[in-house]
A = this chain, B = another copy of it.
Amino acid sequence: MPELRRDPIVDRWVIIAENRANRPGALVVAGHRDDSETSATGAACPFCPGNEAETPSEVFALRSDSAEPNSPGWRVRVVPNKYPALSRKPLAPNDQTTDVYRAPSETQLFSSAPAVGIHEVIIDTPRHVTTVAQLTNEELADSLAAICARLIALRRQPDLKHALVFKNIGRAAGATREHLHSQLMASHRVPPLVAEELRGAARFFEEQRQCVFCRMIDQERDEGERIVCESAAFIAICPYASRFPYEMWILPKQHASHFESIAADDLADLATLARSAIARIEPLSQPPAYNLVFHTSPFDSIAIEHYHWHMEIFPRLTIAAGFEWGSGCNVNPVSPEAAARALRAFSK
């Protein structure tokens, strides 16, 4: 059972998930990183059609036909993660609570809790493609629709408060499985960084009676120099305080706090814009390496005025080193203005 542990000095939680060390390619030990399974294709890829039995039983799928679950015929398929960093299982047979928090005390400095939650894999397409730009716009729209469907289903579960959806593309970005997929981690805790954004946005709203993201979009559109591309409903920018070279955020231009409330029309628009924007960063490294993260509001509200869902995309061209991990401050050698200029100029 994965465990959440709190640092005794700073307010920092880590998930200790020893089961995840068993993933193919999870650890580079003595140079013998096992690449065999991660680059598995066709018959050997558990995410390819025909190999449905290789994954845990599906929890959701979009199917073009009336095929049975866990059989070919799907367009997007959602399965539990085989190596979950969050688990539904209680800590011990006689422990039925979902969050046994061992708090620090006068004599006990260390505190922990079971890392309870749901960890799913969204297989974007039956085709064995490895990057977002290789999807068609329709495939990406299907994948986004499946993510929405999962968020809508999971938010009904009273013990889940938030879900983080993300994609790791390429080994340098932490992918351990080549076939394109997203991951969803839902728990009763809001992830620290999302919680910090929610606090910062609430503070701004209290002072200025405006969503800070809406203000940021206004200012970016006034200045123009950090815009990558726009569609009717979405905008892609290199954020002012980019942590990574060519970091890019995609936001709805109209205020919207929850990704899962997106209109069906907007899904197609988002897919087209996101694919075009991401296609510009993929050539930055060979093979492409980036992370994509959805930041969206907690489940305990339907719509809030101060927070604005968005995607954050981090190309992995530099390595966070001693300074970054030791200081908590990133050094970015490419200004977002230069990054946006280069990405705007990119023609597909």
Residues of B within 8 A of A335 (CB): 3, 16, 18
- Counting chain A residues whose Cβ lies within 8 A of the other chain, the interface size class is 35 or more
A92 within 8 A of B: no
Q: Among the listed stretches A151-159, A254-262, A321-329, which one makes contact with chain B, having 4 or more residues with CB under 8 Å of it? A: A321-329
Residues of B within 8 A of A15 (CB): 329-332
Which residues 312-348 of A sit at the B interface, judged by CB distance below 8 A?
312, 314, 317-336, 338
Residues of B within 8 A of A322 (CB): 166-168, 173-174, 183, 291-293, 314
Closest chain B residue, CB of each to CB of A218:
B109
Q: Are A20 and B285 in contact (CB under 8 A)?
A: no
A14 within 8 A of B: yes
Q: In the bound complex, what is the Cα–Cα distance between A208 and B109 (angstroms)?
A: 11
A232 within 8 A of B: no
A67 within 8 A of B: no
Q: In the bound complex, what is the Cα–Cα distance between A13 and B289 (angstroms)?
A: 24
A93 within 8 A of B: no
Q: Beta-carbon contacts of A274-292 to B below 8 Å, as 1s and 0s?
A: 0000000001111101011
Q: Are A321 and B31 in contact (CB under 8 A)?
A: no
Residues of B within 8 A of A327 (CB): 164, 185, 191-194
A27 within 8 A of B: yes
Closest chain B residue, CB of each to CB of A284:
B29
Q: In the bound complex, what is the Cα–Cα distance between A286 and B31 (angstroms)?
A: 5
A77 within 8 A of B: no
Contact check: which of B3, B13, B168, B325 meets A314 at CB < 8 Å? B325
Interface of A is mostly: mixed
| Contact A172 B20, CB 8 Å, known A31-B285, A241-B13 | no
- Listed A/B pairs (18) with beta-carbon separation below 8 Å: A9-B197, A11-B200, A14-B330, A17-B332, A21-B333, A27-B333, A30-B283, A31-B287, A109-B215, A174-B319, A185-B323, A191-B329, A193-B328, A194-B328, A196-B328, A291-B321, A291-B325, A293-B322
Report which A residues bind B (CB closer than 8 A). Answer: 3, 5-21, 23, 26-31, 85, 106, 109-110, 164, 166-168, 171-175, 183, 185, 191-194, 196-197, 199-201, 204, 208, 212-213, 215-216, 219, 239-243, 245, 283-287, 289, 291-295, 312, 314, 317-336, 338
Which 8 pairs show the lowest CB-CB distances between chains A and B? A174-B321, A293-B326, A166-B322, A191-B327, A193-B328, A31-B286, A21-B333, A291-B322
